[in-house]
Every structure is written in structure tokens, then in C-alpha cells.
């Protein structure tokens, strides 16, 4: 499940820090529902873009690149705004905006990009928004297969011995999250037990094989059979 409430810029930055290529990051975020966090201009006679339902968008593409070359057509009925680059639009419209992550470029949450003979044929239908203004909507699953490298990392984490996981949670995880037992006790009257919960393991019975026939003797349990949990 994708992390709810996380900004797309934070997700991209984390993936880049992990060494993932941009084409793979785009593949991971394409189709993800996001919420626009900034207040957009609202003109009479048009739907309110800041209504909660209208804030929800779907990522169509993330080519990366320079926001100085990405055009925005969000306010198409305003001649002074149509055709401006994303950088110009946000710089002039929002005081204090500086595009803190300019090398990321913007995310397209408008129409899907379409090309003909190598040329973009629907630029007026694209909607470029800086990734720092888009947060991931809660309750979404990653509806595609992850890459082999990521699957391998997940399996390695799952195969850690309990003692290793316990040490990472107690000595690294909680401090990294800023959770201190004394602070919780003082501010929220809560405490963290240093002892972890013990849960009995569940064993799966070996798979059975049923031969032709309905007799009970036709059902066999192989001695060396096992489940493939991959």
C-alpha cells in the first residue's frame, strides 16, 4: 500500500536516494490518485476547483525535466495565463513559491500524453503541478507488480530473524520516528512496554494429493511435500 498523506515530491526524492531510475519511479506513480494541496484560482461560471472532490487528480505522467519548459493551461480563459510555463505560473501566482525541487520537474495530472510522429498532440489538455503540491490519497494499493529488485528487498526484510527485527524496532525504529517513552508518558499519559508480544506460530499442513477414485485410500500426504510461498 502506498503511504497516505505523503507528498509526491517526498516519494520521488526517497526513490531517487535509493538509486531507482526515473523511468521506474514514473511507472510506480502513474495512475496514483493524489490530492492537490494548494488553492487554485476560481472564476465565475466555472466549477470550484478547490472543492474536495475537484482536488482529487490522477497522475498521468512524470517526465521529470525542467519546469521552465513545461506549459500550464489550467486557466485557459485568461489570455495572460494561457501558455505560461509551470515555473512562471506558480512563481507569479503564489507568493513565496520557489520550486524547492526544481530538478524534479512537474507532474502531469491532466489528460494522458499522446504523441504523433514524435510530437505531443494534446498539450492544452495537460495539467502540470509541482510534486510538492500533490499528496497521496489514502487507501490505495500498488496495483502492479513491483520490480525484481524491490521484491528481493521485501523478501530479505521478511526473512530477518526475530531478534534482528526486534533490535531494529526498539533501538532504531522508535527513535527515528521521534517516539520516546518518557515524552509519551509526560504528554499523553502513555508508555511503551519494552517487552514484545509473543504470538504462537501457525503451521500449514503439507498439501495432500488425491488419486483417481473416491476411496479414502486414494488421498495421500507426501512426506516431502511443502508449500511454495513466493
The span from the CA of 129 to the CA of 87, in Å, is 10
Q: Please write the tens of the pLDDT for every residue from 170-229.
A: 787 777 766 666 666 667 777 777 677 888 877 777 777 777 666 566 677 777 767 776
| CA nearest neighbour of 8 among 49, 68, 57 | 57
Name the pTM for this structure.
0.58
CA distance 106 to 80: 21
Across the chain, mean pLDDT equals 76
CATH of domain 8-136: 2.170.260
pLDDT at 74 exceeding the cut of 90 = no
Over residues 105-149, the pLDDT tens digits come to 888 888 887 777 777 677 777 788 888 889 999 877 766 666 787
Q: Which is more confidently placed, 4 or 59?
A: 59
Amino acid at each position: 500500500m502506498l503511504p497516505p498523506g505523503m507528498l509526491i515530491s517526498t516519494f520521488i526524492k526517497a526513490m531517487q536516494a535509493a538509486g531507482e531510475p526515473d523511468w521506474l519511479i514514473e511507472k510506480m506513480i502513474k495512475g496514483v490518485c493524489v490530492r492537490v494541496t494548494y488553492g487554485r484560482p476560481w472564476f465565475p461560471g466555472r466549477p470550484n476547483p478547490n472543492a474536495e472532490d475537484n482536488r482529487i487528480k490522477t497522475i498521468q505522467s512524470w517526465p521529470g525535466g525542467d519546469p521552465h519548459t513545461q506549459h500550464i493551461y489550467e486557466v485557459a480563459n485568461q489570455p495572460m495565463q494561457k501558455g505560461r510555463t509551470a515555473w512562471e505560473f506558480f512563481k507569479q501566482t503564489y507568493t513565496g513559491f520557489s520550486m524547492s525541487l526544481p530538478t524534479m520537474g512537474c507532474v502531469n495530472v491532466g489528460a494522458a500524453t499522446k504523441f504523433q510522429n514524435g510530437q505531443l498532440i494534446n498539450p492544452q489538455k495537460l495539467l502540470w503541478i509541482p510534486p510538492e503540491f500533490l499528496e497521496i490519497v489514502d487507501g490505495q494499493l500498488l496495483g502492479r507488480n513491483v520490480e525484481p529488485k524491490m521484491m528481493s528487498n521485501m523478501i530479505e526484510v521478511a526473512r530477518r530473524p526475530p531478534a534482528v527485527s526486534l533490535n531494529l524496532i526498539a533501538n532504531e525504529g522508535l527513535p527515528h520516528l521521534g517516539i520516546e517513552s518518557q515524552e509519551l508518558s509526560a504528554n499523553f499519559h502513555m508508555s511503551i512496554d519494552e517487552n514484545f508480544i509473543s504470538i504462537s506460530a501457525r503451521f500449514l499442513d503439507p498439501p495432500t494429493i488425491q488419486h483417481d477414485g473416491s476411496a479414502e485410500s486414494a488421498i495421500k500426504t507426501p512426506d516431502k511435500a511443502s508449500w511454495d510461498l513466493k
